[in-house]
Structure 1
Amino acid sequence: MSSGDQALPGKTLINRKTLLAMIPLSERAIFNMEKRGEFPRRIALTSRNVAWDLAEVEEWIETRKRSGEQADRPGFSVIA
């Protein structure tokens, strides 16, 4: 755990730098997915500092791996 990460009993919080090292997406893409409920919500620690629950992020990754589905491209929809 890096110095920017914080531990709570039973929880590990990761900072933005650690999140972006784990998830190769832009900050904007992650923010947009959060707003749509497609990514774990950030936790506001202070007015300028946010973190994510490591277990939630890891579960999101595992869910993506298990689904085997490709993400939809913005602006495109599949009509069956």
Structure 2
Amino acid sequence: MAADHTPRRISAGPYRHISAPIASAHHVQELQMPSVSDRPVKRSIRRNELREIVPLADSTIYEMEQRGEFPRRFALSPRCVVWDLAEVEAWLESRRAKPIPRANHPDVTRRKFRPVKGHGRNSA
């Protein structure tokens, strides 16, 4: 069967139609993504598995990826992103080897609202 490059109509409801081109073998070759790294990926994990391994919020992981502090995700399809398990495990080992200092706690005695009843203060 020969490839047809004419748009076909896809019904999105009873009154709306969307035109979409039919993909051919030539178009599929154009959609291939370049390799992220030179070494082959032995196992990739999706977001749910990543959440089980790394207990950080999605927004924190995204921000760390943007800063280059966390392994980058890569796309398997337009709607599926994965991480290389070996890179995530190496990241965890590097974090364990070099602990991150804890953030300083805020001085709660300087709060304007909900004042803290501390030692030596008169309780109202």
TM-score where L is the length of structure 2:
0.48
The CA RMSD measured in Å over matched residues stands at 1.8
Q: Flag as ranges the 4+ runs of structure 1 deviating above 6 A.
A: none
Unpaired runs of 5+ residues, structure 2, are 1-39, 105-124
Q: Is 1:48 aligned to 2:79, yes or no?
A: yes
Aligned to 2:100: 69
Hey, what's the Cα distance between the residues in 2 that align with 1:32 and 1:71?
Answer: 19
Q: Is 1:11 aligned to 2:37, yes or no?
A: no
What is the aligned residue count?
A: 65
Aligned to 1:31: 62
Larger Rg over CA atoms: 2
Aligned CA distance change for structure 1 residues 43 and 36 (closer, same or farther; 3 Å): same
- Cα distance, 1:69 vs structure 2: 2.6
Aligned CA distance change for structure 1 residues 10 and 24 (closer, same or farther; 3 Å): closer
Identity of aligned residues (%): 48
3-state SS of paired residue (1:45): strand
Hey, what's the Cα distance between the residues in 1 that align with 2:100 and 2:56?
Answer: 17
